[in-house]
Every structure is written in structure tokens, then in C-alpha cells.
Structure 1
Amino acid sequence: MSKKIVFTSLVVLCAVLFVLLKNWYDLRNPWTRDGHVRAAVIQVTPNVSGQVVEMGVRDNEFVEQGVLLFQIDPRPFDAQLAQARAEYDRTGDNYLAQEQNVASVAAQLEVARAAVVQAESAIREIDAVIEKNAAELQRQQRLLPQRATSQKQVESAMAQHAVSLERRKGTEAALVQARARYNSAAAQLDEARATLGELGDANPNIRAARAALQEAQLNVEFARVTAPVAGYVTNLNLRVGSHAVANQPSLALIDADSFWIEGFFRETTVARIRPGDRALVTLMSYPDRPIEGQVESIGWGIAQQDGATGRDLLPQVRPTFEWIRLAQRIPVKIALGELPEGVLLRVGTSCSVKVLGGTAIPDEEARGYK
């Protein structure tokens, strides 16, 4: 056998061994070049509409939490606040006036009740007098045939009895009037209480005025839009004079404390990845400074490209080659450790990710699957 054949065989054997070892290593330590830097991007949205009168930041600037991003013209909201305060004060004054009216009508009702009691007492007294006069009249009438009394005394008894009956009619009329005044006062009290409503803080008018005042105060605060988190202002297009619209995003803020790596691994290697596995991340912008990380979670699904409804409501299915099957890629979230000095993360930049298989701590692995 010639030396050339032996050398060629050794080269081929080494190449095969290298490919096998590389394949084994890649299977044991999954690797992908399809990685990207991610972070929470907060769409800063004002709660009120108005003209921007002040900008507190510039594009691509880092801001601390609570720093002014932009100021909406506060004058309309200051005017609304003053109006709400005036309405709240007016509502309070009306409530006090209605409360005093209830107290006044209640006092009138007590006076009317006392008048009814007095009239009823007068009726009882006059009834006793009538009964006494009637008995005296009957006694005088029995004595007259016996000549034990005179006709004059009988007539006097009859006159007294008639006077007491007339007095009762007047007293009955007074009682009717007293009861009428009482019923009228009771109706007025019910009406006054209905107008007043619930007492104190439970009063609906007071609560409505207070709610309007609180809303006006909030709108004044909402006119000053501040950073909800510490982060980076990105792609700033808002300017002084722009019109900010409530509930519509005005600028983007990247949360500085939320960066992570999203790596897309072939489905043939995902089975060897576990939450808690160590990972090495190499940014394209810093190829010589790898970053240590740890697998935080593994995606449970990806969108299907086939089966969507198409023309005539039929499913869309793309033609494929029977002898070629491309492995799907599953997203894996990598939590980053401490960054090397001078390394800056930017959302959307590319990186390579290598997962060191079998390095997960059992507790971390179990926690990752909960």
C-alpha cells in the first residue's frame, strides 16, 4: 500500500472522527447562531390629551425612574381643577343648607306633635265636663217632678250641658287642624330627607363632587408624564408643539433592568436543554467578550405556517420536498449574568448562544417546569 493511500485514509478517518465528535458535542451542548437581545419595551402612553409644552429628554438618552419625559399644557386641567373645587364647595354648602332645613322641619314636626297631644288632652277634658254636666242635667230632671229642685236650676243645667257640647265642637276642630299641620310637617320632613339623601360621606352628591375633584387632580398630575422605570428613550419623535393623545403611545422606553437573550434552537436539540443550564452568549458586536447566562425557560409553542384559512375558506398548505424536512426552531429564554466591562446591550442585536447541557441544578430544573 502506497504512502499516498495511507495518508489519504488517515485524513479521511480524522475528518470523520472530527465530524462525529463535533456532532456529539453539539448534541450534548446545543448551539445556535439565531439569538437576539431582548428587553421590555414600554410604550409610554399619556392619560390625557393636550399640546406638549416641554420635553424633558432627548433621543437615546438614559433616564432614571420618575424623571420628566414631557409636559402637556397644564392650563386646561388647572381650570378644570378650579371648577371641580368650586363645585365641591357648592355641593358642601347645599348639603349643609339641606341638613339645616331637615332640622328645621323636624322641629316644626315636634311642635305639631305637641299641638296634637294638647288638642287630644283638651278633648278628654271636655268629654269629662260633658259627662259631668249630662249627669247633673239628668239629676235635676229627676228631681223636678218631686219639687226637689226648681225649673231655673234645670234650665241652668241644660245651658251648661249645651255650652260644653259647643266647646267640644271647637276642640274637635282644633284637633283636626293640629293633625293636619302634623301630617303636613311629616310630609315636608320626608321630602327634605329625600332631597338631602344619605348623611355625611355616604351622600351621593358629596361623593360625586369629591370624585370629580379627585379626577381633576389626577388630570393635573397626568399632564406631567414621567418615566415609569429607569431605561433608554428610543426613536423619539415627540416635539414641543406636538399634540399628545390620551391612551395612544407617544414614545418608547427600554427598561434597563429587563434585558435577556432569546435563542432559537432546532427542535432536535431542545430535548437536551433544561431550565437552569448554564449558557454562553457571544454578541456579534463583542465577539471576544462572551457573557455567562442561564436558561430561564423554554417556549411551549410556535406559530404554524400551514393551515391558515386562504382563498374560498380553504386551508393554505405550502408545497414541500418529501426528502427534506427542516427542523423547527423553538425559543429559549436566557437570563444574563454580570456583563463584562464595556459591554452594552441593545435590543434586537444578534448573538450566538451555547447551552452547556447537564449543568442545571435539579431544584432549578424542577422550578423551571412549574
Structure 2
Amino acid sequence: METPKLSTRLIVTGTLIVLAVVVTTLLYYRSVNRPWTRDGQVRAKIIEIASQVSGQVIKVAVIDNQRVKKGDLLFQIDPKDYELQVKDAEAVIEQREAQLKLAESEKDRILEALKTNAVSRALADKAVASVNVARANLNRSKISLETAKLKLSWTSIYAPGDGYVTNLELKEGDYSNTGSAILAFVDSNSYWVYGYFKETQLKHIKPGDRAVVTLMSHRDKPIEGVVNSIGRAISTPGTANISELVPEISATFDWVRLAQRVPVRIELKKVPEGVDLIVGTTASVAVIPDKSN
């Protein structure tokens, strides 16, 4: 009676061992032929919008998270002070033009008198120099006018491209300081995905390989992509920070310490209809290596 039970146990044990070997082998070949990670994140170019001149905000033309097109007005700073600067610069030009005209007239009179030795050469040279100074002053005034017009144009702030306005807390009446970021602009033509792959997987990934991105919010709508590049530096907690510009990747621990994860940049080919990309959201990334490489 014990023999059949022993045989059954051996068969079951052997079957389980074979299944474990098969599953392990399949998982290994899958990891080699199709590196995959669920540690992915949607990214995009985020531009900090700041005014290039200071002043009180008199108009906010957008609302938070609004989609805008390149050239759309975002907000406007009170232009009165800058309009006055333009008028002042124009008045200075008129003055400089009159001074130049007078200097040229005086120069012509003195040079004519020099022909009969009625004046000295030194006086004639001084007259010529006065004309050159007056002309230089006029040129500087013209530059000042162009600068004033440029500052006036900066009182209207426009969208730098197609995208979304976000983190907008600006209100009419607020004071905008030169260079201080007021809102964030997400460039809708710059989305990509970072897939954070184990360093042991990188040998199976090359730029140009096909990639499939699956957003957690749209599991039924995979996005085709291509490997653009592989990160060349990472920083980990607990170590000296190499640079603030280097991505910091948290170390992962399980039963044993796992390999470090390295960002792989995936460029998206075409986003399916109905899928809205949001910076920072989660994605899974599978890479299909190009066997011809």
C-alpha cells in the first residue's frame, strides 16, 4: 500500500520540479527577448513662464489646466509705464536729431570759413568731432527706443507652443516681478515615457528598439513607441549626490538587493484617441529588441 503512495508523491514532486524549470526558463527567455518594467512614468517638457518686465497684472486670459495654442495670450502686465518710456525715447530722438542738424550746420559754416583761414584748424576739428558725438548720441537714442518698444511688447505674455497651462494661481491685481515664475506650461508636443529598467536588462535594450507603453489609466490602449536613449548617470539615496541634474532612483530591496534601475527614454509614436497624457502618471514599458542589431 505504501508503494503506490510513494510513486504518486514522486510523480507529483517530479512534475512540480519540471513545471518550475519550464516556468523559470520561459520567464528567463521572456526577460531576454522582451525586457519589461512596470516602473515607468510619463514625462514632458515643462516650461516655467515668467514675465521679462515687472508690473501689475491687469488681465489673466486663461484658467488653470486650460489647453492653449502657440501665440495665445496668457496674461498681461499694465503697459502704461512702458508706453511712457516709448514716448520719452521718441522725444529724445527728436532732440538728438535737432542737435545733429545744428552740429552739421555749424561744421559746414566753420569748414567754409577755414578755406579763407578765418578760423583755426583746431576749431574745424572740434566742429567735426561735435558732429560725430551728436550722431553717436542719436544712434544710442534709437537703440533706447527699440529697447523701450521691446519692453512694452513684453507686457503681453503668450504661450510658447501648443500645450497646457498648469499650476496657475495668478490673479488680476497681482504684481509680477521680472524673472519670477508665475505658472507652468506643459508642451503637448514633447511627451515621452521613462521606463526604469534593471541594469541587468540594459544589455538587451538598444536605441531604435520597438517599445510598447501601457498606461495604468488606459490598460486597454497600448501606445507604440521606440527606445530613444538610455540614461548615462543615476544617483541613489545614501550616496553623495553626483549632480542635481542627475535623476535619483530609489534602491529596491526584496529578499536580496536588486539591481539598480536606469531610466530608458521612450519616444511615443502615436497616442490613441481618448488617451490624455499627464506628466507623472504611471506606465508599464515592454521593449521588443531588434534582433537584426
Q: TM-score, normalised by structure 1?
A: 0.71
* Alpha-carbon shift at residue 305 of structure 1 (Å): 4.5
Out of 208, 211, 217, the position equivalent to 2:149 is 217
Q: Distance in 2 between matches of 1:27 and 1:306?
A: 31
SS of 2:32's equivalent in the other structure is helix
Please report the RMSD computed on the Cα atoms of aligned residues, expressed in angstroms: 1.9
Q: Which amino acid aligns with 2:263?
A: P
Matched, 1:106 2:38: no
CA distance in 1, matches of 2:136, 2:265: 52
The whole-number CA distance in structure 2 between the counterparts of 1:345 and 1:68 is 24
- 1:345 maps to what in 2? 277
**What are the residue-to-residue correspondences of 1:39-54 with 2, within 5 Å?**
39-54=44-59
Q: Does 1:231 align with 2:163?
A: yes
Amino acid at match of 1:258: S
Work out which of the two has the higher radius of gyration on C-alpha atoms and give 1 or 2. Answer: 1
- Structure with bigger strand share is 2
Deviation sequence 1:268-289 (CA, Å, 0-9, x none): 0111100000011110111121
SS of aligned partner of 1:188: helix
Residues 46-81 of structure 1: CA distance to partner in whole angstroms, max 9, x if unpaired?
A: 110000000111100000000000000011100111
Q: 1:6 to 1:324 in 2, by over 3 A?
A: closer
**Do 2:74 and 2:159's aligned partners in 1 also have CA atoms closer than 8 Å?**
yes
Distance 2:119 2:187 in 1: 72
1:327 corresponding residue in structure 2:
259
Structure 1 distance, partners of 2:106, 2:119, is: 17
2:123 partner SS:
helix
SS at structure 1 position matched to 2:181: coil
Distance in 2, Cα, partners of 1:246 & 1:192: 44
Q: How many residues align structurally?
A: 276
Following superposition, the deviation at residue 308 of structure 1 comes to: 2.8
Q: Deviation string for 1:96-125 (max 9, x for gaps)?
A: 11111101111111232xxxxxxxxxxxxx
Contiguous gaps of at least 5 residues in structure 1: 113-180, 310-320, 363-370
SS in 2 for 1:346: coil
The amino acid that maps onto 2:18 is L
Report the Cα offset of residue 325 of structure 1. Answer: 4.0
Q: Report the TM-score when normalising by structure 2.
A: 0.89
Q: Which of 290, 297, 311 in structure 1 is aligned with 2:222? A: 290
Q: Which of 308, 326, 329 is matched with 2:240 structurally?
A: 308
CA distance in structure 2 between the partners assigned to 1:101 and 1:182 by the alignment: 13
The residue identity in structure 1 corresponding to 2:139 is R
Aligned counterparts of 1:353 and 1:307: Cα–Cα separation in 2: 28
1:198 is displaced (CA, Å) by 6.3
1:191 and 2:123 correspond? no
More helix as a share of residues: 1
- Asked if structure 1 preserves the Cα contact closer than 8 Å seen for 2:166 and 2:186, the reply is yes
Residue of structure 2 equivalent to 1:7: 12
Find the aligned partners of 2:239 and 2:215 in 1 and give their Cα distance: 36
Structure 2 residue 28 is the aligned partner of structure 1 residue 23: yes
Distance 1:339 1:68 in 2: 27
